[in-house]
């Protein structure tokens, strides 16, 4: 695993990250220096995947703090309230973005409070100190993501065996996180153990994260991956080629209902029909206990050209009506287990979720 790509790093006053829209043809690196560039990179899906969006937004927030030229900690705090709302507006569904912004805002508050208490201190020096603390927090979010995803992978391994087939959707690997991925973490760790796992990757219409990103990164890692069109999932399941479906999540509501890339719900219906376990893998930062159920999750709708003109080539009649929700919600009844860094929650529902979240929040 040592030679895995490091898709996001903050170095020399800039955020350096792989431009996911260029893959797999070109491995191009973006160098982002302003919060506006970070916002656009998230909105245009140059970086995507719930944990990756959270990390990048956290760095963007710290970068905005550095360039705010605030004279006092109080002034900095006021400016960052606007930055938080701005970054949160980049994409609506993945709760990790909002989680990261809440966390950065809480750290801002506590650092500014501490700075205020230092009577006679040079206020500009205090601002610099707060900014340094915000970069530390962004780095902590990234480091914790790596540890959490590795733990998710270890927990996924308890549900896997050598020689099995796994179907996955969208991209939940290195590119979507800091290193190990979520649903792909078990596959990386299984490979590290010398197990053979045959992965079937849905191409994932309309933006093709499966074809462009998952197929690419699993191939790079030397894992047996077969690309299929989304509408081939039932055939692969009926033919007995897969013994589990493993997907990620963008937001998990209090009752276990899970928003993930459009097409996930259909896979869960199919998996239940064929008696194949359907696993959701996600860190706790994807849990949104303030949202009671899937019906309350805001689903992003994206530009119709993703469907009518994929990758710049018109494939549909002019003026055709288009509906392009980027995510769907899988009802918790269809989920065999949610796999987190703190363990596996079988058959998640409100009671199971409450007991589990009660344990880790206390």
Catalytic residue among 202, 250, 257, 328: 250
Minimum distance of ligand MRU from residue 40's CB (angstroms): 15
User: Which residue number has the CB closest to ligand MRU?
Assistant: 248
Q: How far is the CB of 28 from ligand MRU (least distance, A)?
A: 18
Q: Are 291 and 257 within 8 A, CB to CB?
A: no
Shorter beta-carbon distance to ligand MRU: residue 41 or 65: 41
Residue closer to ligand MRU (CB basis): 137 or 202: 202
Binding site for ligand MRU (CB under 6 A): 48-51, 94, 170, 172, 176-177, 182, 209, 248-250, 260-261, 326
First to last CA, the chain: 34
Of 159 and 170, which CB lies nearer to ligand MRU in the complex structure? 170
Alpha-carbon separation of residue 13 from 34, 62, 66, 265, 314 (angstroms):
10, 11, 10, 41, 40
250 is catalytic: yes
- Whether the CB-CB separation of 28 and 22 falls below 8 Å is answered with yes
Tokens of 250: 């963008």
Residue closer to ligand MRU, measured from CB, 112 or 249:
249
Beta carbon of residue 208, minimum distance to ligand MRU (angstroms, whole number)? 10
Beta strands 14-18 and 29-32 are antiparallel
Please report how close the Cβ of residue 45 comes to ligand MRU at its closest, in angstroms.
6
Residue 327 token pair:
């995510």
CB under 8 Å to 142, separation ≥6 — which residues? 8, 10, 55, 58, 178
Nearest to 279 by CA among 308, 315, 238, 242: 242
Of 231, 218, 203, 353, the C-alpha closest to 292 is 353
Whichever of 75 and 154 has its CB closer to ligand MRU, that residue is 154
CB of 74 to ligand MRU, least distance (A): 35
Residues with catalytic roles: 250
């Amino acid at each position: 695993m040592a030679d895995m790509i490091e898709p996001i790093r903050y170095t020399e006053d800039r955020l350096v990250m792989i431009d996911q829209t260029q893959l797999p043809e070109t491995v191009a690196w973006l160098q982002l220096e302003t919060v506006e560039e970070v916002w656009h990179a998230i909105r245009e899906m140059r970086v995507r995947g719930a944990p990756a969006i959270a990390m990048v937004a956290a760095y963007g927030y710290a970068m905005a703090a550095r360039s705010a030229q605030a004279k006092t900690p109080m002034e900095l705090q006021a400016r960052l309230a606007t930055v938080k709302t701005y970054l949160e507006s980049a994409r609506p569904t993945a709760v990790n973005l909002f989680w990261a912004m809440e966390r950065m805002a809480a750290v801002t508050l506590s650092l500014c409070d501490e700075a205020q208490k230092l009577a006679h201190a040079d206020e500009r020096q205090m601002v610099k100190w707060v900014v340094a603390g915000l970069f530390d927090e962004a780095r902590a979010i990234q480091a914790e993501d790596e540890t959490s995803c590795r733990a998710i992978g270890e927990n996924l391994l308890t549900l896997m065996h050598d020689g099995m087939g796994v179907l996955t959707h969208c991209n939940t690997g290195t590119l979507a996180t800091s290193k190990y991925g979520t649903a792909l973490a078990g596959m990386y760790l299984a490979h590290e153990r010398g197990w053979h796992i045959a992965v079937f990757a849905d191409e994932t219409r309309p933006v093709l994260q499966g074809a462009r990103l998952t197929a690419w990164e699993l191939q790079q890692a030397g894992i047996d991956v077969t690309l299929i069109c989304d509408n081939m999932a039932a055939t692969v399941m009926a033919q007995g080629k897969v013994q589990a479906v493993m997907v990620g999540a963008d937001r998990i509501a209090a009752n276990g209902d899970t928003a993930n890339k459009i097409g996930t719900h259909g896979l869960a219906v199919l998996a239940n029909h064929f008696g194949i376990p359907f696993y959701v893998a996600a860190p706790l930062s994807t849990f949104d206990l303030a949202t009671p159920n899937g019906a309350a999750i805001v689903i992003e709708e994206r530009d119709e050209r993703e469907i009518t003109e994929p990758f710049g080539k018109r494939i549909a009649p002019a003026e055709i009506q288009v509906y392009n929700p980027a995510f769907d919600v899988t009802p918790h009844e269809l989920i065999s287990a949610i796999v987190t860094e703190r363990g596996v929650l079988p058959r998640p529902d409100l009671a199971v979720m409450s007991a589990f979240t009660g344990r880790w929040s206390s």
